[in-house]
């Protein structure tokens, strides 16, 4: 193993502001806001891999599709993924057998494997230059305790007929106790892959709207749905609405806010000193570590991911990047770090995504959410399932992913723990002691401060301009915390995120944080 300096690198060695490799190397056309009233067969809310793939597939079926995105296309989770396409989702199959039985566990694998094959074939058939490379995926153990869990997972692979291979070592310079290799998986450039779909949607006459937020309330009349914008100024009437918006835009009493929690994870792209042997790697212990290759400007990069935590719960997020840099350098050396970024993932009570009918009482509103770290395969799977549902075709995976499931093991226990955690965060944020003052902030520093006797969020930019905000999340009233690594305000309750100006980056919040002045605290 390569030795690294014992000193964690300075933050000055990292790119100043996070930017993903995918966003830097792809340009998309811009689209207008929705204005006035319009009609479509299907409205897809959300412009990531799930929404774009759904819209594309339905357009190819001859339906009139409208796609609506709150921000800009592909600037959410899809633009910040590690972009591994795989059915190897960590230590999942042993858990699935225990919770759902072998039949549903096998269907989970087959569903994701089908999505992997669809994506590989789609890129090949359409000649999409998106760096689609077939890779072996590895899940490895580094300690005796991890090895016990990995052997249980290997037994699950054998029960389910998953074509994995047991390995005693890795191509990487890592000492491991064992590993499971799953051949035939893939990596790619997600935005270049989806750029093709955007072009095809434009050619096919699909309507695409950006910077348009759809309100939660959906009106229903004469068998049609009427979706309104948040400001009430515009609307779309349709037969089906698909929520592909990461956090569902529509709840309908299903309490998704209490059945999902948000986690952030981090990625650094290093230019290695030694050649990367290929393959995609993830450990089965904690803290999580993920590795895969990528290409940029004729150079090989290695994406080092991990350091996950519940959104709003990290004390110093910049250290997460530094820790990953040190890990990558210890294995392969690091000449340069051209990119760093983070992603936010939603996780369900039982680790299985919610894909299907959003509520029991309306078959025309569909939802896909809770992909955890595996949104490339499960987002594509959701689109395939939605196509079948809307075109009235049978799909054998519906029961596995139905949002209506709620098993006592592990659902009830996780539901109680998760909602107790939200209540704790809500109360702790409101009564937490704050000792810092606005005048103490240095340039390019943010913090929770005491302002006119109350809790507020403050950030002073590099030129000394102060941005002062009410620190109460506009979703359900939890208190946000400063994320130093991303220069953002993050909510620990349901994962809403806001930039330093208070503008919404990620939902479920749809309204910005309230700006304050130095002389007045509103509310």
Q: From first to last of its 523 residues, what are the pLDDT tens digits of the chain?
A: 443 433 444 444 555 567 899 999 999 899 999 999 999 999 999 999 999 999 999 999 999 999 999 888 988 788 889 999 999 999 999 999 999 999 999 999 999 999 999 999 999 999 999 999 999 999 999 999 999 999 999 999 999 999 999 999 999 999 999 999 999 999 999 999 999 999 999 999 999 999 998 998 899 988 899 999 988 999 999 999 999 987 888 988 888 877 888 888 899 999 999 999 999 999 999 999 999 999 999 999 999 999 877 755 555 667 888 899 999 999 999 999 999 988 888 899 899 999 999 998 889 999 999 999 899 999 999 999 999 999 999 999 999 999 988 654 555 555 545 455 544 444 444 444 455 677 788 888 888 887 766 678 889 988 888 888 888 888 767 778 888 777 888 887 767 888 888 888 877 788 889 888 754 433 3
First to last CA, the chain: 56
Q: Distance from CA of residue 40 to its chain's centroid?
A: 28
Helix axes 102-125, 375-390, angle to 10 degrees: 90
Sign for the pseudo-dihedral over CA of 20, 21, 22, 23: positive
Q: If we measure between CA atoms, which residue out of 343, 371, 355, 267 comes closest to residue 77?
A: 343
Q: Residue for token digits 């964690």? A: 8
With residue 341 as reference, give the H or E element that holds it: strand 336-348
Q: What's the rounded Cα separation, in Å, for the pair 369 and 258? A: 13
Residue 520, pLDDT score: 42
**Extents of the domains making up the chain:** 407-523
Q: If we measure between CA atoms, which residue out of 139, 448, 460, 175 comes closest to residue 312?
A: 448
Q: Which residues pair with 289 in a beta bridge?
A: 306
Residue 521, pLDDT score: 39
φ/ψ of 436, rounded to 5, equals -80, 155
With 0-12 / 13-18 / 19 or more C-beta atoms within 10 angstroms meaning exposed / middle / buried, residue 523 is exposed
Q: What's the rounded Cα separation, in Å, for the pair 65 and 63? A: 6
Residue 8, pLDDT score: 41
Q: If we measure between CA atoms, which residue out of 41, 119, 21, 28 comes closest to residue 69?
A: 28
Residue 522, pLDDT score: 37
Residue 193: helix, strand or coil by DSSP?
helix
H, E, C per residue of 22-86? HHHCCCCCCCCCCCCEEECCEEEECCCHHHHHHHHHHHHCCCCEEEECCCCCCCCHHHHCCCEEC
With 0-12 / 13-18 / 19 or more C-beta atoms within 10 angstroms meaning exposed / middle / buried, residue 47 is buried
| Residue 443 CB neighbour total at 10 angstroms | 10
CATH class of 407-523: mainly beta
Q: What's the rounded Cα separation, in Å, for the pair 74 and 194? A: 9
Q: If we measure between CA atoms, which residue out of 120, 387, 351, 348 comes closest to residue 246?
A: 348
Q: Residue for token digits 């014992």? A: 6
Q: If we measure between CA atoms, which residue out of 177, 172, 180 comes closest to residue 137?
A: 180
With residue 366 as reference, give the H or E element that holds it: strand 362-369
123-161 burial by CB neighbour count: b if 16+ within 10 A, else e?
A: beeeebebbbbebbbbbbbbeeebbeebbebbebbeebe
With residue 113 as reference, give the H or E element that holds it: helix 102-125
* Alpha carbon distances (Å) from 446 to 318, 343, 468, 488: 13, 20, 10, 9
Q: Distance from CA of residue 351 to its chain's centroid?
A: 14
Please enumerate in sequence order all residues whose Cβ is within 8 A of that of 215, keeping only pairs 6 or more positions apart, or say none: 227, 228, 229, 230, 232, 249, 510
DSSP code per residue over 232-298: SS-EEEESEEEE-SSS-S--TTS-HHHHEEEEEEEEEEEE-SS-----EEEESSSS-EEEEEEEETT
* Alpha carbon distances (Å) from 211 to 35, 359, 505, 510: 11, 27, 11, 11
Residue 17, pLDDT score: 66
| Residue 235 CB neighbour total at 10 angstroms | 17
Residue 13, pLDDT score: 55
DSSP code per residue over 418-470: HHHHHHHHHHHHHH-----BGGGPPTTEEEEEEETTEEEEEEE-TT--EEEEE
Q: If we measure between CA atoms, which residue out of 89, 268, 220 comes closest to residue 162?
A: 89
Q: What's the rounded Cα separation, in Å, for the pair 427 and 432? A: 8
């Amino acid at each position: 193993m390569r030795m690294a300096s014992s000193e964690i690198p300075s933050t000055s060695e990292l790119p100043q502001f996070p930017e993903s490799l995918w966003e830097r190397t792809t340009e998309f056309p811009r689209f207008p806001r929705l204005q006035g009233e319009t009609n479509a067969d299907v409205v897809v809310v959300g412009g990531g891999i799930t929404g774009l793939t759904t819209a594309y597939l339905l357009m190819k079926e001859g339906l009139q599709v409208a796609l609506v995105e709150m921000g800009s296309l592909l600037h959410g989770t899809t633009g910040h993924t590690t972009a591994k396409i795989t059915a190897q989702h960590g230590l999942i199959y042993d858990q699935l057998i225990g919770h759902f039985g072998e039949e549903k566990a096998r269907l989970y694998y087959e569903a994701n494997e089908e999505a992997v094959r669809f994506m590989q074939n789609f890129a090949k058939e359409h000649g999409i230059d998106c760096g689609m490379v077939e890779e072996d995926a590895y899940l490895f153990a580094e300690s005796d305790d991890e090895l016990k869990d990995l052997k249980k997972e290997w037994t699950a692979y054998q029960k389910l007929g998953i074509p994995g291979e047991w390995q005693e070592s890795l191509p990487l310079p890592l000492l491991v106790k064992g590993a499971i290799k799953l051949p035939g998986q893939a990596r790619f450039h997600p935005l270049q892959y989806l750029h093709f779909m955007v072009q095809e949607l434009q050619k096919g006459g699909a309507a695409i709207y950006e910077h348009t937020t759809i309100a939660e309330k959906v009106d229903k009349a004469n068998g049609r749905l009427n979706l309104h914008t948040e400001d009430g100024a515009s609307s779309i009437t349709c037969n089906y609405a698909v929520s592909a918006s990461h956090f569902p835009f529509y709840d309908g009493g299903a309490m998704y806010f209490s059945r999902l929690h948000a986690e952030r994870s981090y990625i650094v792209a290093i230019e290695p000193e030694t050649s990367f042997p290929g393959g995609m790697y993830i450990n089965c212990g904690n803290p999580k570590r993920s590795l895969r290759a990528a290409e940029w400007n004729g150079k090989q990069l290695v994406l080092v991911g991990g350091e996950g935590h519940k959104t709003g719960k990290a004390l110093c997020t910049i250290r997460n990047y530094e820790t990953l840099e040190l890990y990558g350098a210890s294995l392969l050396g690091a000449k340069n770090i051209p990119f760093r970024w983070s992603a936010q993932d939603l996780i369900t009570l039982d680790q299985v995504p919610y894909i299907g009918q959003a509520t029991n009482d309306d078959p025309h509103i569909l939802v896909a959410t809770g992909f955890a770290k595996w949104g490339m395969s499960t987002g594509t799977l959701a689109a395939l399932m939605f196509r079948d549902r809307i075109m009235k075709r049978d799909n054998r995976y519906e029961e596995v992913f139905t949002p209506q499931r709620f098993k006592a093991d592990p659902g009830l226990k996780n539901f109680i723990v998760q909602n107790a955690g939200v209540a704790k965060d809500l109360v702790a944020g409101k009564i937490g002691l704050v000792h810092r003052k606005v005048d103490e902030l240095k340039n390019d520093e943010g913090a929770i401060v005491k302002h006119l006797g109350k809790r507020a969020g403050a950030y002073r930019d590099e030129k000394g301009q102060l941005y002062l905000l009410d620190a109460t999340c506009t979703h359900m009233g939890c208190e946000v915390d400063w994320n130093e690594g991303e220069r953002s305000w993050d909510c620990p309750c349901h994962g809403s995120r806001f930039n330093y100006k208070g503008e919404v980056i990620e939902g479920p919040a749809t309204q910005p944080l309230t700006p304050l002045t130095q002389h007045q605290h509103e509310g």
